[in-house]
Amino acid sequence: MAVDDVDRRLLGLLQEDATQPYAVLGEAVGLSAGAAHERVRKLKASGVIRRTTIEVDPAALGRGVLAYVLLDADAWMGDKRAALEAIGAVEEAHVIAGPASVLVKVRAGTTEELQQTLRALHQVDGVTSTQTVVVLESFFERPPAVV
């Protein structure tokens, strides 16, 4: 789908606050409420907007420990998506180029829970070793830029 500059501005406004009335969105980009609504409808229909969701504070839910873990493997890891997805503390999993095979983002409640997650990662078929990078302070985590 063709996404023009007005669409991108609408996406930015919706990222900040998806509860705004279409009249306000339209005014911000120089459109009527109806026209703004039509733009957003198409962005949703085409998949540019995947869903409307809430952003939660992980620390408030008892997940204040963040870490990234590099997984080394002695087998092809391309079919290990389900095994990684089954580990609740794993927030992201990526196949990577370079020394290791897979990079996962882990958010745990405590260092003990982080250790349990590392054990679970070791038990995934093919994984031979892990390197853990513990986050001391997060400067920011923000959504993808739309401009």
Name the residue among 34, 39, 35 with its Cα closest to residue 11. Answer: 39
Looking at the chain, how many residues does it have?
Answer: 147
**Least CB distance to DNA at residue 118 (A):** 37
Distance of alpha carbon 128 from alpha carbon 145, whole angstroms: 36
**How crowded is residue 12: how many other Cβ atoms within 10 Å of its Cβ?**
15
Tell me the pairing of strands 102-108 and 65-73.
antiparallel
Kindly tell me which of 23 and 132 has the beta carbon lying closer to its own copies: 132
Identify residue 139 by its one-letter amino acid code: F
Residue 133 binds its own copies, judged by CB under 8 A? yes
Binding track, positions 18-37, relative to DNA; x by CB under 7 A: --xxxx--x---xxxxxx-x
- Please report, as residue ranges, which positions from 67 to 106 form the binding site for its own copies (by CB under 8 A): 68, 70, 78, 80-81, 84-85, 88-89, 91-98, 100, 103
Task: Give the 3-state secondary structure of residue 147.
Answer: coil
What is the binding site for its own copies (CB under 8 A)?
1, 3, 8, 11, 14-19, 46-58, 60-61, 63, 66, 68, 70, 78, 80-81, 84-85, 88-89, 91-98, 100, 103, 107, 133-147
